[in-house]
Structure 1
């Protein structure tokens, strides 16, 4: 083996896999698979296939997902920076495909950072519906916001709460819930040395306790008839079938439901936890059987109730403060947006389009109240990068395709000369929005975000590998 894995883990896997163990072991001699997922909010699959400068091959279980060559640096490519695709582990893409979000639905991603599954959900529902992306870890929430912004998602609220606290606002609210649970990360051993180093049987048990608590707390947030998908990137039955077994015992109104995607993957193993036969409907993604890392997925349905549950509080109405005139003046001059279809609110001097139909969030820590359009400053409105990434080029009244020389300066955060009328302008690259600039006396003040000038690729691996949550 090219990597070192603890002997205790290997013995456990040998007991579980038996005759398949040697095939499993051989995977540690291979490099991890790499994948990207097309952001259909910005570009169609066929168009991306046509313009991407390296070879990509389809991922069977995700119509917008593709493998790419291990040597390609897809995360450093311009199309990644422009939000045309998201770098994501191939088997991680199966989770949202099992959830199967539909336009118009209200969906909760409980542990959302760094944003792979959140952004995947967004491509499924478009602008119809609401995503609540929650992340309890403040250190990780920054990556979530940056990815959501880069992908141009408009109908999302980002919260920073414990699952328990979410019940104060969202009781019986969601059509679908994704619990991509913090886990021991065994499925990522091939690509994550930290996961290998800190693994222990005690950590497996600690993670299983956290996972059970999360499910207990979010179950009441789901509407009757709704779908809850539970996933991990680990192999341990204690964190997978064992967690679902305990949940079904405590919440008999839930049942495991078969997924159409089960044809691609192995079944669950009720015998590993002395559980009910319905655990066979769970899915296991093994690296020696699919091109990807290890995952577990369970699709659960909440049985219909006699009376629909509508205990959540109604959202407050629109608020249009006097200072919002600065935003409307900007929009009138620079944007071609139907403002009547946007629910404009101000929170802490930031202007948002807040999705319609939210409950009262006054007791919830909200990190972003919706699509952040910009900030109200002294006597002016400053548009956000998120605004530029959330509109089409045609929705900016003033836009300019950057030349190769201008593009290099813009992406490096430099100023450059431009003989145009003073004011804001949307810069584009290959026709796609890249960000704002403001012209003053022939010089462009650069508003390209500092964090994008030295971008770090946030891969979605679902690993938490600790018991903080």
Structure 2
């Protein structure tokens, strides 16, 4: 007997219908119609460039290679929509090596709201960082020169966060796993900038795989709003006077947006201001002045409410706050947890020998690159890590999940670049390269070993930077007689390699 397909709506469809019914009174008839028309259109994927590894001209080159039609995201200089694609944006070696991040365009807005001075080295707290997209954006906006504490209270989400940041190639960061509500008490008036991408009901009206819509009860929404207020106040306490905090959600529910800002303003009047950010957008996208039964304080309207029809994105909300005064002195500060973390920095003689070996073997002048990042080299087991020195100064006893970037690994032949070190600094390597013929590239990207057509002038077991004739970094390989052993990590291997021209 054949099964009859149910015509009843799914949970996601019911959630969308309920949200639309709730949000209908918040828009004019004209805007409501524009919203409904927008929701009929597919949401184009978008990517954001990693300036640590690539430049805007590279994006145009990728578009030619992969048959992409691009359109710039108007509020993010390093963001592009991929309106058409012959080859998927998720299945390129550039994506797997962290040359760009795939991110819904609306999610690019929060980090673009910050004012970061050129060459500054800010201390930044990302309070709810997983899966890491906005953290990578913070790294990009600061050129990896500030120290970022990427925190998430969910232990289950920390692995994804760590892998994303590792792939991005960031050095000046630490990953932690504490409730965001504690940071204000542990580190009052410590950070130059705080990002709170708050846990929310995800009522964006544009369901995504990473942000599915589901029915939300009034009780659950109230509990979410209460936690959002607590996180917002904690972040403001951790912020220096004069510093900036961005509050963001991927929901359009006023209870989790305008109402949260209002609650914080009422609880601590005069501590912070909501700043206008019209200069960051191509057209106004103000927050609500009121709902049918409630009016918000005037400065709440300075926040940004991205209805999907405004800029062809998912629904989103963001506000930039400026701390203008300290919190009341009666608020008690509790000490953070402490752990003894002996940092085994390399001795100056060891550092010099290492730099000389990298110049000799790879033509890589690492010293000025690490000096720009204010990073030192630390040995941990068989790896050398590039570690932010600012962490030891400000947070030396704070337990972390990961710190810095694993840059080099010990082999019988000496120190060689790790996969992450190669992806970050491989373009600076003038020697130690093997160029694959075009016909071998697809097999290599599938994780296969390939023959060495012309044996290189290096001994067996030498780890080399692998490129193609286009100059693309294709990972690491190990020279084994007449063969090049593929050292691409499993997570980097492509399911299907692009055809070469």
TM-score computed with the length of structure 2 as normaliser: 0.80
- Which residue number in structure 1 is paired with residue 480 of structure 2? 440
- Which residue number in structure 2 is paired with residue 5 of structure 1? 14
SS of 1:220's partner is helix
Q: Identify the match of residue 204 of structure 2 among 177, 187, 200.
A: 187
Q: Identify the match of residue 70 of structure 2 among 56, 70, 92.
A: 56
Deviation, structure 1 residue 147: 2.8
C-alpha distance in 2 between matches for 1:368 and 1:12: 42
- Which residue number in structure 2 is paired with residue 294 of structure 1? 315
The answer to which of 254-263 and 195-204 deviates more is: 195-204
- Which residue number in structure 2 is paired with residue 271 of structure 1? 290
CA contact (8 A) 1:32 1:190 kept: no
Could you say if the C-alpha distance between residues 189 and 291 of structure 1 is closer, same or farther in structure 2, counting changes exceeding 3 Å? Answer: closer
Deviation, structure 1 residue 167: 4.8
Structure 1: gaps of 5 or more residues? 457-469
- Which residue number in structure 1 is paired with residue 56 of structure 2? 45
C-alpha distance in 2 between matches for 1:312 and 1:353: 28
Q: Identify the match of residue 161 of structure 2 among 121, 140, 144.
A: 144
C-alpha distance in 2 between matches for 1:15 and 1:268: 14
Deviation, structure 1 residue 454: 4.7
C-alpha distance in 1 between matches for 2:194 and 2:450: 47
CA contact (8 A) 1:188 1:293 kept: yes
TM-score computed with the length of structure 1 as normaliser: 0.85
Could you say if the C-alpha distance between residues 362 and 168 of structure 1 is closer, same or farther in structure 2, counting changes exceeding 3 Å? Answer: farther
SS of 1:197's partner is coil
- Which residue number in structure 2 is paired with residue 77 of structure 1? 92
- Which residue number in structure 2 is paired with residue 401 of structure 1? 435
- Which residue number in structure 2 is paired with residue 339 of structure 1? 367
Deviations 1:256-288 (A, max 9, x none): 011122553421124235331110101100112
SS of 2:262's partner is helix
C-alpha distance in 2 between matches for 1:455 and 1:365: 37
Deviation, structure 1 residue 382: 5.7
Q: Identify the match of residue 390 of structure 2 among 332, 346, 357.
A: 357
Could you say if the C-alpha distance between residues 446 and 134 of structure 1 is closer, same or farther in structure 2, counting changes exceeding 3 Å? Answer: same
After superposition, the CA RMSD in angstroms is 3.4
- Which residue number in structure 1 is paired with residue 276 of structure 2? 258
Could you say if the C-alpha distance between residues 169 and 409 of structure 1 is closer, same or farther in structure 2, counting changes exceeding 3 Å? Answer: farther
Could you say if the C-alpha distance between residues 169 and 210 of structure 1 is closer, same or farther in structure 2, counting changes exceeding 3 Å? Answer: closer
- Which residue number in structure 2 is paired with residue 459 of structure 1? none
Could you say if the C-alpha distance between residues 143 and 454 of structure 1 is closer, same or farther in structure 2, counting changes exceeding 3 Å? Answer: farther
1:178 aligns with 2:217: no
Deviation, structure 1 residue 12: 1.0
Q: Identify the match of residue 113 of structure 2 among 98, 112, 124.
A: 98
- Which residue number in structure 2 is paired with residue 119 of structure 1? 136
Give aligned pairs, total: 451
Q: Identify the match of residue 261 of structure 2 among 212, 233, 244.
A: 244
1:86 aligns with 2:105: no
Deviations 1:139-159 (A, max 9, x none): 333333333233332322222
1:303 aligns with 2:313: no
Deviation, structure 1 residue 196: 2.5
